[in-house]
Amino acid sequence: MGYERQADFGTPEVRSDTQVTCSIDGREVIVPVGTTVMRAAALTGGSIPKLCATDNLKQFGSCRLCLVEIDGMRGTPASCTTPVAEGMKVHTQTPHLQKLRKGVMELYISDHPLDCLTCSANNDCELQDQAAAVGLRDVRYGYEGENHLGAMPDISNPYFDFDPSKCIVCSRCVRACDEVQGTLALTIDGRGFGSKVSAGLASDSFLSSECVSCGACVQACPTATLQEKAVKEIGKPERAVVTTCAYCGVGCTFRAEMRGEQLVRMVPWKDGKANRGHSCVKGRFAWGYAQHQERILSPMIRESIDQPWREVSWEEALTYAAGQINRIRETYGRNALGGITSSRCTNEETFLVQKLIRAGFGTNNVDTCARVCHSPTGYGLKTTFGTSAGTQDFDSVEDSDVILVIGANPTDGHPVFASRMKRRLRQGARLIVIDPRRTDLVRSPHIAADYHLPLRPGTNVAILTAIAHVIVTESLANEAFIRERCDWDEYQHWAEFVSAERNSPEFLAPVIGVDPEAIRGAARLYATGGNGAIYYGLGVTEHSQGSSTVMAIANLAMATGNIGRRGVGVNPLRGQNNVQGACDMGSFPHELSGYRHVSDKATRDLFEAEWGVKIDPEPGLRIPNMLDAATDGQFKAIYIQGEDILQSDPDTKHVAAGLAAMECVIVHDLFLNETANYAHVFLPGSTFLEKNGTFTNAERRIQPVRKVMEPLNGYEDWQVTQELARAIGLDWNYTHPSEIMDEIARLTPTFTGVNYKRLDAEGSLQWPVNDKAPDGSPIMHIEGFVRGKGKFVVTDYVPTDERTGPRFPLLLTTGRILSQYNVGAQTRRTANVVWHEEDLLEIHPTDAENRGLKSGDWVKLASRSGETTLRALVTDRVAPGVVYTTFHHPATQANVVTTDYSDWATNCPEYKVTAVQITPSNGPTDWQEDYEAQATLSRRIVGHEGAMEPAE
Amino acid sequence: MSGHTVEKLAYMANQIARNLVHDDKPVMAVADHIVSFWTPRMIDMLIAQGSAGLDPVAVEAMARVADGRIPPPQTRATDPAVHGSDAG
């Protein structure tokens, strides 16, 4: 598409079954009751002048530009605040209105610079458009009087400027911050002529204020007052492509606005069904990594990791890689090979990688980074509900009455969905937060959790069982629902188990570390407060009982009847953009696409007929098993696409030992990541801006990813995988990812109705999309569980073997922060570092005082696995005995200290519980120094000796 | 064969056993789980090291697996009838 602003209907859409008919300038229109005159006029193709109205904000009625005349009504009401009535006759363009509007506009322009030709918003400015629309030709008042034209801009934010000299005080930015983002960082300071937009206190700049840089204010601004720096530097975009963000599992739809091959800005797309026109600092602004100087664009090879890299042609790199793969297969057998698919790449790319491993390498040794995040979700939900994904769409939260968040920090990890959740909470929904740490959601403007249960890390199953105990023993269970939809005998078995005294809040309180009355209160609220929805994240899954916790959550939802309609459900908040898709596409070693076990002959027959090869009926190795097998000398080669296991996986030393033991490590990535320190072949990757494909978000929503610019490295990632497949002798001839999706649809029962034509036409589809659900499935289990009855599973609390003791008396838990993403490979290469330039260790004041520590001090963080150093932040966000850090920076290497304990069912690592000791430190540990030395040596590239080495 | 890996496999088997102890048929549940998610080599390694360090339920389960008495699916997560379900 060319570049034009997305249609703005002025006021939000209204939902109603009752319709009313009115006439706008003689054009008849039927709209839901409650729709404003302004919106109705826009729906007829008309355009009433406006400045303070925009359709993602509630009507405000301040600019007085949208006045209309209505037969039978006195005066000239504002169309943005006047609802349509049956039979209403509206006149939007009359001489009287024109005079009024021109007068209003004249006042605005009398205090606005007339530098339109050189203004960065020239020809992309609503004020300019509306001045034209009302026919303003001169300003009678002159510019000599008091004005704001000399107001100084605030350029503190790295991505956008605030120029108050151009502000018309329409309050759109303030309302966007309030209503859309829910941070309430902005306000109108002063009164009358002195009114001005202010971020935080008068002493604050945008950067120092509570602003989270989501961009909602910039998007809302009708002038150049709040505008992206990139537009100022580059100019107005000339074309635009709608695509899907590649950061978290929310899956926001953006419009990439381009000038030539240069990305000017990413603007959230209002028709995006996951984000509904909102964004966060990462998706909106942090895309500079795509053209970062450290990106590797030439393939490279080396015989051993102590050698420098040698840049080679694609042909030489692929031939070398294929030669190594074939040699190792012939020498050690096919099971010495394996691969890892990426949750950051597209469905089509992920599908091809697992196909390459299974059909080309001849082994099921394929896994994905979901192993280390949501694999317990798949196991737990499949066991209880018969399905392996979340039950709701994001819109569902609009109907929730009680929201229970456990082990998730959505304002940092899933910020755009968090804004929607917060909007519902501000409307009055009740909130329960179960988290060792006081996350921002616990208390934020106009939101206070009814219950924050700061449990000890590792006691999720205990607290959920205690909640179940209250629900059952206080007769709060929804027996009618259970009898109709679940296995009654299994329920009784479970109910008997949870009712035991040893599962009561009082009995378990010493273990959990939470007041039993608070647990009882939370249980009563969830069971009786109306529509109850559970949202959870990696604080649930990344434990030795991750799968049990998921099943305990499912038990609670079934016991209270909170399944199968809007407002309820069990909602895993997926970490990465396509982690749902990577799982769907058959990335796990025991499953083909659609979660069908490799032992199932009928499924294998289907794939064997399509692919023309035999598929091994036995499960392959999971990532940690691959590393174990490597150190045993049994696993020799790996192809890793878009995944940095050395930084992201637990027990770094073990990962390094496993990689070092392999004869051929092929890394396919954007940067020389940490894993590449141990690689022999580096294949440059392409960014999400450079490829076509699809991502599937946390609501099972399959969304198009569209090529915005040509790949700097020359190939989209699916093409690189195809070339590698050809190099080892496979006859692959895909010409477009749509052909790969067609193959997925042929082979996967949940995807039979998915194709690119439909995705282009409908924007997105939520699987299952098949004969039973031709239009997809926003909410699952509506009439009953899709596979028989809901199954209650007894989840006995089994304490982790990672215990505190005299040497390691504190519990470390880990998480992420808003401005950084995962291992930080992308966000650390953007200006987002101004908000978070290093990982910090949060420690309670009592624990800090005992160790003589204050904020900013260097501390040594030591566990049974290893030790590292970082700086301390003393805060009561964490409870005494608990410390917390993020894992965004390789210099910290938080995973040096995490252990190899993992979930009993899926081997998802227990990142969230590590017994540690904190002591003062005066510098890096030996490990950190050795690591840095090895990394520096490993990143040398022949011919680039003088240049700064690309560093991760 | 690595001692470390075998120790880890024994630990995993015990962990599975501890978490499936409330199942109707815990031995069969453990055997089913291991056969469904472990590679043949991992299973062979654990069988080869014998019952040392294994919990009783895990010992019985591994004996079943070693004898080829593979149980039918014990949960929906391992049930072929659920494979190919219209919702994954």
Q: What is the pLDDT of residue A947?
A: 55
Q: Which of B8, B18, B84 sits opposite A596 (nearest CB)?
A: B84
Domain CATH code at residue A342: 3.40.50.740
Please report residues of B whose CB lies closer than 8 A to that of A584.
88
Name the DSSP letter for residue A214: -
Cα–Cα distance between A120 and A204 in angstroms, integer?
25
Same domain for A393 and A513, yes or no, is: yes
Q: Judge if A622 and A753 occupy the same domain.
A: yes
Helix (H) or strand (E) holding A860: strand A858-863
Q: Average pLDDT for residues A734-741, to the nearest whole number?
A: 98
The number of C-beta contacts closer than 8 angstroms across A and B is: 122
Whole-prediction pTM value?
0.95
Chain A positions in Cβ-Cβ contact with residue B42 (cut-off 8 Å): 621, 625
> For the domain that residue A210 is a member of, what is the CATH number?
2.20.25.90
| Contact across the interface for A619 and B12, Cβ inside 8 Å | no
List CB contacts (< 8 A) between B10 and chain A.
none
Q: Are residues A623 and A659 in the same domain?
A: yes
The answer on A70 and A52 residing in a single domain is: yes
**Is residue A336 pLDDT above 70, yes or no?**
yes
- Which residues of A fall within a CB distance of 8 Å from B78? 597
Q: Give, in degrees to the nearest 5, the angle at Cα A169 between A167 and A175.
A: 115
Secondary structure (DSSP) of A610-637: HHSS---SS----HHHHHHHHHTT---E
> Chain A residue with minimal CA distance to B80?
A600
Minimal Cα distance from B6: which residue of A?
A628
Would you say residue B75 lies in a domain? no
Q: How many residues does chain B have?
A: 88
Q: Do A634 and B39 touch (CB under 8 A)?
A: no
Task: With respect to residue A121, please indicate whether it lies within any of the assigned structural domains.
Answer: no
Specify if A130 maps to a domain. no
- Closest residue in A to B4 (Cα) is A628
Q: Is residue A260 part of a domain?
A: yes
Geometric angle at alpha carbon A288, from A287 and A292, rounded to 5°: 135
Closest partner residue to B37 (CB to CB) among A590, A787, A793 is A590
Going by pLDDT thresholds of 50, 70 and 90, the confidence category of residue B88 is very low
Q: Which of B32, B37, B44 to mutate to test the interface with A (most CBs of A within 10 A)?
A: B37
CA distance B52 to chain A (A): 19
Q: In chain B, which residues have their Cβ closer than 8 Å to the Cβ of A496?
A: none
B83–A603: do the CB atoms touch at under 8 Å?
A: yes
ipTM reported for the complex, 2 dp? 0.94
Domain annotation covers residue B87: no
Nearest chain A CA: its distance from B58 CA (Å)? 13
- Residues on B contacting A at a C-beta cutoff of 8 Å: 1-2, 4-5, 8, 12, 15-16, 18-19, 21-23, 33, 36-42, 75-78, 80, 82-88
Measure Cα distances from A896 to A127, A804, A893 in Å: 55, 18, 6
The model's confidence at residue A951, banded by pLDDT at 50, 70 and 90, is very low
pLDDT for the residue numbered B82 = 63
Q: How far does the CA of residue B20 sit from the closest CA of chain A (Å)?
A: 9
Test B5 with A594 for CB contact under 8 angstroms. no
* Chain A positions in Cβ-Cβ contact with residue B77 (cut-off 8 Å): 379, 382-383, 905
Q: Which residue shows structure tokens 């080309």?
A: A360
In terms of pLDDT, which residue wins out, A574 or A416?
A416
Let me know if residue A8 belongs to a domain: no
Task: Tell me the pLDDT tens digit for each residue of A352-393.
Answer: 999 999 999 999 999 998 888 888 998 999 999 988 889 999
Q: Give mean pLDDT, residues A721-730.
A: 98
A781, closest residue in chain B (CA to CA): B87
Which of A266, A291, A316 is where one domain is finished? A291
| CATH number assigned to the domain comprising residue A32 | 3.10.20.740
Mean pLDDT, residues A413-439: 96
The residue segments making up the domain with residue A449 are 374-572
Residue A768: cis peptide before it, omega within 30 degrees of 0:
yes
Q: What is the predicted pLDDT for the residue at B85?
A: 41
Q: Is residue B10 part of a domain?
A: yes
Q: Is residue B60 situated within a structural domain?
A: yes
Q: Answer for the pair A505, A519: CB distance below 8 angstroms, yes or no.
A: yes
List CB contacts of A493: < 8 A, sequence separation 6 or more.
A792, A794
Those residues whose C-beta lies under 8 Å from the C-beta of residue A795, and which sit 6 or more positions away, are A461, A464, A465, A545, A548, A549, A551, A552, A555
d(CA B43, nearest CA chain A) in Å: 11
pLDDT at A91 over 80: yes
The pLDDT score that the predictor gives to residue B87 is 35
Nearest-neighbour CA in chain A from B3: distance (Å): 9
Residue A28 has what DSSP assignment?
Answer: E
Kindly state whether residues A624 and A690 are assigned to the same domain: yes
Identify the weakest region by mean pLDDT among A225-229, A425-429, A644-648. A644-648
Of A794, A904, A908, which to mutate for an interface test with B (greatest number of B Cβ within 10 Å)? A904
Residue A495: what pLDDT? 98
pLDDT at B1: 37
Q: Verify whether the Cβ–Cβ distance A796 to B82 is below 8 Å.
A: no
The mean pLDDT of chain A is: 94
Nearest CA to CA, how far is B33 from chain A (Å)?
8
Instruction: Check whether residue A492 and residue A345 sit in a common domain.
Output: no
Same domain for A712 and A649, yes or no, is: yes
Is A114 part of a structural domain of the chain? no
Q: Tell me the residue type at B58.
A: A
How far B46 CA sits from the closest chain A CA (Å)?
Answer: 13
Question: For residue A620, what are its two tokens?
Answer: 């392959």
Asked if the structure places residue B35 within a domain, the reply is yes
| Closest in A599, A750, A796 to B22, CB measured | A796
Q: Is the pLDDT of residue A1 over 90?
A: no
Structural domain containing residue B30: 6-69
Would residue A627 count as lying in a domain?
A: yes
Q: Which residues of chain B lie closer than 8 angstroms to A600, CB-CB? A: 80, 83-84
pLDDT of residue A952 exceeding 60: no
What's the pLDDT at A143? 80
Which chain A residues are closer than 8 Å to B4 by Cβ?
628, 631
Cβ contact B77–A387 (<8 Å): no
Q: Are residues A415 and A560 in the same domain?
A: yes
Question: What DSSP state is assigned to residue B22?
Answer: T
Residue A628: phi and psi, rounded to 5, are -60, -45
β-strand pairing of A810-815 with A664-669: unpaired
Q: Which residues contact A296 (CB under 8 A, 6 or more apart)?
A: A669, A670, A671, A672, A682, A684, A713, A950
Question: Given A236, A268, A291, which residue is the final one in a domain?
Answer: A291
Instruction: Test B87 with A596 for CB contact under 8 angstroms.
Output: no
Nearest Cβ partner for A625 among B15, B36, B42? B42
pLDDT at A790 over 70: yes
A752 and A861 inside one domain: no
- Asked if A900's CB is within 8 angstroms of B16's CB, the reply is no
Number of domains in chain A: 5
pLDDT in tens, A462-484: 999 999 999 999 999 999 999 99
**Domains contained in chain B, number:** 1
Q: Is the pLDDT of residue A125 over 90?
A: yes
Q: What is the pLDDT of residues A644-695, one digit of tens each?
A: 999 888 888 899 999 999 999 999 999 999 999 999 999 999 999 999 999 9
Give the pLDDT confidence of A483-538 residue by residue, as tens digits. 999 999 999 999 999 999 999 999 999 999 999 999 999 999 999 999 999 999 99
**Is the residue at B46 inside a domain?**
yes
**The last residue of a domain, from among A40, A60, A93:** A93
A944 has pLDDT over 90 = no
Residues A438 and A365 in one domain: no
CATH of the domain at A498: 3.40.228.10
Residues of A in contact with B75 (CB under 8 A): 383, 793
pLDDT, position A214: 97
Residue A833 has pLDDT above 90, yes or no: yes
State the average pLDDT over residues A802-815: 94
d(CA A269, CA A278): 8
**How many CB atoms neighbour CB A945 within 10 A?**
9
Residues of chain A contacting residue B49, judged by C-beta atoms under 8 Å apart: none
Confidence band of A428 (pLDDT split at 50, 70, 90)? very high
When pLDDT is averaged across residues A88-115 and rounded to a whole number, the result is 95
B26 in a domain, yes or no? yes
Considering only CB atoms, which chain B residues are within 8 Å of A616?
A: none
Chain A residue numbers touching B71 (CB-CB < 8 A): none
Residues A302/A233, Cβ–Cβ less than 8 Å:
no
- What the block records as the tokens of A103 is 């007068």
The answer to whether residue B86 is domain-embedded is no
Shortest CA distance from B1: residue in chain A: A632
Shared-domain flag, residues A239 and A268 = yes
Tell me, yes or no, whether A286 and A322 share the same domain.
no
Is residue A856 situated within a structural domain?
Answer: yes
Contact B88 A387 (CB under 8 A): yes
B6-46 pLDDT tens trace: 999 999 999 999 999 988 899 999 999 999 999 999 999 99
pLDDT tens by residue, A243-286:
999 999 999 999 999 999 999 999 999 999 999 999 999 999 99
Q: What is the distance in angstroms between the Cα of A594 and the nearest Cα belonging to chain B?
A: 5
| Mean of per-residue pLDDT scores for chain B | 87
Minimal CA separation from A521 to chain B, in Å: 28
